[in-house]
Structure 1
Amino acid sequence: MARTTTEAPPRVALGERTFEIVLATSKTHTAWFERHGSNPVTEIPAHWPEDYREIVQARIDLIEANKDIRLIERPEYKRRWSIEPWEKREAAALRSWLLDAAEREELWFEEQDGYTVPRPLTVNQLADALRHDEDVQSVAALYAADHLGKRDASLATVLAAVTEAEHVPYVAALRYKDSGLRKRAQWEQVWEQQREEDRTGKRLDIKVPPKYTGADFLKHSYWSNRGKLDVPKERFISYPGASTDSDTSLLLGWAGWNHRDQADALVGLIRSRVETGGWEKEDSRFVPLLAGLREVMPWVHQWYGGHDEEWDGNPAEEFQAALDNGRTERGLSESDLTNWRPEKKTRGRKKST
């Protein structure tokens, strides 16, 4: 007759499963405990009920006596207990909460001349916009102390850390390596063919474009946010190199903007950098901004190419005019924009002494 326990079985903690006790007492070299962050338990826990201890001891005896049982009572046949440590789960929760706060829609729009327009913000400006929110300050302080090791870190420092892997640049040349840019060109050709099909109703023989891999992106975080089909899943759009000289923290936009908003933000950036940013019209920093505007324009023409009562005009025509004027003023051709690449950083060799 099977032995029954007089008390409910105890909760078995990490490292206390029967096969783990056997493994801990054996002379077998294993990375099981280190990999799972558990301490080897070499004796049956004394706080367990006596009858349950006897059942576990019987299992241990059977494992040690029977080579067939011993064969399957090994780590490779056991389910891993891979629960993330509390510290990691807490960090993820705090980071997600802060990112949600930074994504509040009202932060990314402002009123100008009676119109609601998109508003890019540097990390410093974003921190300034949230500094009066006591909840944001409290969560940021907790994240900084426990997960950045910087108890006195500013809100801007915390936001820079949590948004670091949550943004993707606005223009292709800042997202992809050369292989990715070649694939992007093929995708753009396919999109144009699809638009032609929609315009003419004539079916074209459109080839399936190649999928992306992690090796096509300049940063792993860009790949993580986009994947093999380059579908945007990031929270923010970034504008590297477009910040003002007085505030060089990373300039961000909201990934919730539609294509019209994205074009509007770029046109506004170009205008503001001339009027208030201190950039000369010939400044080379305008080239990627114009390239980014050129890149988004096919989608603006597709979705916003008609008269918009709210806009009181045709958004696509206005943005196209801004792009054409921007190129003309700086003597840039279409190929100047498509061929623009960021300057590669070079590592200098240390001088020998």
Structure 2
Amino acid sequence: ARSKPLGTPLEIELISVARLADIAAADETFMEVAAVYRGDPAFNVARLVEELVQGEQVPLLPILRYKPPGLRKREQWEETWELQRREDAGETITDIPVPPKYKSSDFITTGGVRYWALRGKLDVPKERWISFPHCPGSDGTLMIAWAGYDHLQQTQSIATHYQTIKEEQGGADDPRLIPLLACIAELLPWLKQWHADLDPNFNLSMADYFEGFLTEEARSQGKTLEEIRAWQPPTAATRRRTRAAKP
């Protein structure tokens, strides 16, 4: 049986778009409304759900939602957040810079995504789904999480998917594992900020637990934490056009 990370409730999990479509197909109310929306009682449920999710999802990892100028602004925001955390911890900080606002050109727009529309100039999350490109489920479709999960619930669901892949699907060398660890690394500062208290059920801070989980799994992958955080999506293979030989 798959081992779930410590403290992970059964109902907190990532879900594939295909599985979400199966759930939608079993909901009579959804099917009635969707048939009217499509104007076709024989509409393709999977295609509709995929379209709806695509318009309401934003990837968790910054590298998958910003262009290079946006990534540079994101770094400035992260520096400001870190200074604020230090000030909240009691350190005297004389100057906390105001980070720059984003522009539509800072966000990736390929594939019909709506990251700018869903985030805006202050990058405030308004999406319904958090997405995990390059980490598909066993059915090959995009994995997503409800955007209402808090940082701990997000981390728990990501770690569960990680364990599923490692123990039941692709094994320890599966390429989906590194970006999932990068997601946990992205969430770790927020875990330390909001989930650093001792969990009475486990006599352990969930922030400390997942920091240890991240460190151990990075080591098992032969990576440093810096290398995990620096993960980049694979580049598309260059396609060369071949000319037809002359007769």
Q: CA deviation at 1:133?
A: 1.6
The one-letter amino acid paired with 2:115 is Y
| Aligned 1:1-353 pairs, distance under 5 A | 115-145=9-39, 152-219=42-109, 221-244=114-137, 246-276=138-168, 278-309=169-200, 313-346=204-237, 348-353=239-244
The one-letter amino acid paired with 1:138 is E
Runs of 4 or more off by more than 4 Å in structure 1?
Answer: none
- Could you tell me which residue of structure 2 aligns to residue 71 of structure 1? none
Q: Counterparts of 1:114 and 1:318 in 2: how far apart (Å)?
A: 12
- Could you tell me which residue of structure 2 aligns to residue 52 of structure 1? none
Q: 1:243–1:249: 8 Å Cα contact kept in structure 2?
A: yes
Q: CA deviation at 1:201?
A: 4.2
Q: Counterparts of 2:234 and 2:52 in 1: how far apart (Å)?
A: 27
Q: Counterparts of 2:233 and 2:8 in 1: how far apart (Å)?
A: 37
Q: 2:16–2:142: 8 Å Cα contact kept in structure 1?
A: yes
Q: Provide, for residues 217-237 of structure 1, a one-character-per-residue CA deviation record: whole Å limited to 9, x for no partner.
A: 112501111111111010000
Q: CA deviation at 1:154?
A: 2.6
Q: Counterparts of 1:153 and 1:241 in 2: how far apart (Å)?
A: 28
Q: Counterparts of 1:114 and 1:229 in 2: how far apart (Å)?
A: 31
Task: Summarize the Cα distance change of 1:299–1:114 in structure 2 as closer, same or farther, 3 Å threshold.
Answer: closer
The one-letter amino acid paired with 1:302 is Q
What's the TM-score once normalised by structure 1's chain length?
Answer: 0.63
Q: CA deviation at 1:113?
A: 9.2
The structure with higher relative contact order (CA 8 Å, sep 6+) is: 2
Q: CA deviation at 1:157?
A: 1.4
Q: Counterparts of 1:233 and 1:226 in 2: how far apart (Å)?
A: 6
The one-letter amino acid paired with 1:234 is E
Between the two proteins, what is the percent identity of the paired residues?
Answer: 36
Task: Summarize the Cα distance change of 1:214–1:312 in structure 2 as closer, same or farther, 3 Å threshold.
Answer: same
Give 5+ residue unaligned stretches, structure 1: 1-111
Q: CA deviation at 1:346?
A: 4.8
Q: Counterparts of 2:187 and 2:226 in 1: how far apart (Å)?
A: 16
Q: Counterparts of 2:194 and 2:26 in 1: how far apart (Å)?
A: 38
Q: How much is the aligned-residue C-alpha RMSD, in angstroms?
A: 2.1
Q: 2:8–2:157: 8 Å Cα contact kept in structure 1?
A: no
Q: CA deviation at 1:350?
A: 2.7
Q: Counterparts of 2:74 and 2:101 in 1: how far apart (Å)?
A: 10
Determine helix, strand or coil for the equivalent of 2:200. Answer: coil
Task: Summarize the Cα distance change of 1:312–1:152 in structure 2 as closer, same or farther, 3 Å threshold.
Answer: farther
Determine helix, strand or coil for the equivalent of 1:282. Answer: coil
Q: Provide, for residues 175-199 of structure 1, a one-character-per-residue CA deviation record: whole Å limited to 9, x for no partner.
A: 1111111111111111111111111
Q: Provide, for residues 1-43 of structure 1, a one-character-per-residue CA deviation record: whole Å limited to 9, x for no partner.
A: xxxxxxxxxxxxxxxxxxxxxxxxxxxxxxxxxxxxxxxxxxx
Q: Provide, for residues 293-312 of structure 1, a one-character-per-residue CA deviation record: whole Å limited to 9, x for no partner.
A: 10111001101001123565
Determine helix, strand or coil for the equivalent of 2:233. Answer: coil
Q: 2:127–2:147: 8 Å Cα contact kept in structure 1?
A: yes
Query: Highest Rg: 1 or 2?
Result: 1
What's the TM-score once normalised by structure 2's chain length?
Answer: 0.88
The one-letter amino acid paired with 1:123 is V
Give 5+ residue unaligned stretches, structure 2: 1-5
Q: 2:13–2:158: 8 Å Cα contact kept in structure 1?
A: no
Q: 1:144–1:152: 8 Å Cα contact kept in structure 2?
A: no
Q: Counterparts of 1:279 and 1:209 in 2: how far apart (Å)?
A: 41
The one-letter amino acid paired with 1:191 is W
Q: CA deviation at 1:315?
A: 1.0
Task: Summarize the Cα distance change of 1:311–1:255 in structure 2 as closer, same or farther, 3 Å threshold.
Answer: farther
- Could you tell me which residue of structure 1 aligns to residue 3 of structure 2? none
